[in-house]
Amino acid sequence: MKKDMGFSKGLLTWYDKNARVMPWRLPPNSQQEPNPYFIWLSEIMLQQTTVATVSSYFNKFIIKWPNIIDLSNADDNDVMASWAGLGYYARARNLLKCARIIVTQYNGFFPKSYEELIKLPGIGPYTASAISSIAFSKPYAVLDGNVERVMSRYYFVLNPLPASKGELKILAQSNLHTHRPGDHNQAIMDLGATICTPTKPNCIGCPVNSACKAYIIGNAELLPKKLPKKNKPLKFGSLFIGVHPTNGFLVERRKESGLLGGMLSWPSTDWSSRQSSDPPLPADWVPIIGLVQHTFTHFNLELNIFKATIKNSVDPYFFIPTECFNSNDMPTVMRKAFDLYLNSKH
């Protein structure tokens, strides 16, 4: 497909003046060398997560683990606790696996080739393209929601997502700036995030509107088309917050292979289509008024919460002393349960 020279020129001219400031990003045309560790870490965090949410987590991470070697030597539970609240916890487990492979097999240096990057845990086509282009100036276009939206509107692609992903990737690649692929990728993502937004796009302020087919036709907001989403199933379960007078809160570490894998959790029933309140260990459990509602990628969840005084721990559960317990080390759904528990005491 023939490159649209006007697209990349207009895009980069706009980006040079309007690039978003982010803690992991160098400004346009910077003479400083990009930090592959920062780029990789931010891209993993940004998967399914907003820039606003990621920024604070990123800053905390690089204070604790300023480079790939420090992260590879980190305690697994410490990393999982620092990730708590970001969701998609397999990302954190793969983060550690990837860091350790880079240190042991690549002497602490990120491989520069796309083919080597995509072999690493947690790195798929999008992340490999982002690292290749931004860190090493390799000509690989990224395709995220922002890029899909810009390309579908610019070329008036009527085929709905996700079926049109292949076509949109070809369009993105064909327009990639040869000498500034990293800036180009970041520019088109910024354009989608700030100008070519899902609703009420600022078409008048768009730097590439003169050749945008959707703008010319006048229906940019209708694109990209998407197939209807399936309704998420509703699941039920119960969480049990137990406290020992001196030993603290009773918790468990969830299995790595499942949902919220490796995270600190309250003892729980299975989460299924049927309501279950059978406690995993005996105690005088008292129901707390209210429900915890939470949405996961593939289902919605409603949880009943129970509390009790616990006399003894039973494997796989263990106590965390009250003075050492921090609900922020838990995933969001567990924090919601703890907030309900605290409110029940007032």
Distance CA 304, CA 255 (A): 22
Helix (H), strand (E) at residue 307:
strand 300-309
Residue found by looking up tokens 């697209």 in the block = 7
Dihedral sign computed on CA atoms, order 44, 53, 164, 20: negative
**CB environment 197-234: b (16+ within 10 A), e (fewer):** eeeebebeebbbbeebebbeeeebeebbeeeeeeeeee
Give the whole-angstrom CA distance, residue 128 versus residue 131: 5
Is 43 an active-site residue? yes
Q: How far is CA 279 from CA 58, 258, 291, in A?
A: 37, 20, 17
Contact 281, 216 (CB under 8 A): no
CA 40 to chain centroid, in Å, comes to 12
Residue from 43, 116, 167, 302 carrying the catalytic annotation: 43
Tell me which residue of 10, 32, 28 sits closest to 19, measured CA to CA: 28
Q: Is the dihedral of CA 117, 119, 121, 124 positive or negative?
A: positive
* Phi, psi dihedral angles at 340 (to 5 degrees): -65, -40
307-341 burial string, b = 16+ CB within 10 Å, else e? bbebeebeeebebeeeeebebebbbebbbbbbebb
What amino acid is encoded at 298 in this protein? H
Catalytic (active-site) positions: 43
